[in-house]
Amino acid sequence: MRTRDDMIPDIELLEKFSRKFALGSERGKGSDHFLRFKIIGCKLTIEQAKVIAEVAEKYGRGCLEITTRGNIQVHWIRDEDALKIFAKMDEVGLTMDMCGQAFPIPQYGDVRNMVTCPVTRLQKGELIDTYPIVKKLSELFQEDPNT
């Protein structure tokens, strides 16, 4: 049985994620909403990968899309499931890219995912490991979208 506390939304989670919860795109074929997980530098932890797989399986009809910027999109997200998903994302440190399709003109989107070579740190003869730079820049824009 649900209690009153179960029905009160977590305001911090709503503030953190709701502006980035997008309307569906034509590719979603009937999808009202979708999430675009921002995968900084194309690097995921095992825990993050498991959460994304669980979200896709449980809420996204078992499907996900990997974008050219290294993000992962899950379609068919229902309003009533959003807070549960946001809580799981927050537990493992996942964030979202503001999905531009839901907004009338580009100014409403946020900085898209920054990419780097997915094998940076592993490549022999590499001159510079770019991942820490990309991670720091992503965090800067995530903390202050007006930057």
CB 40 within 8 A of CB 114: yes
The pTM of the whole model exceeds 0.75: no
How much is the mean pLDDT over the chain? 76
Indicate the pLDDT class of residue 51, thresholds 50, 70 and 90. Answer: very high
> Which residues lie below 8 Å from residue 129, measured CB to CB, with a gap of 6+?
120, 121
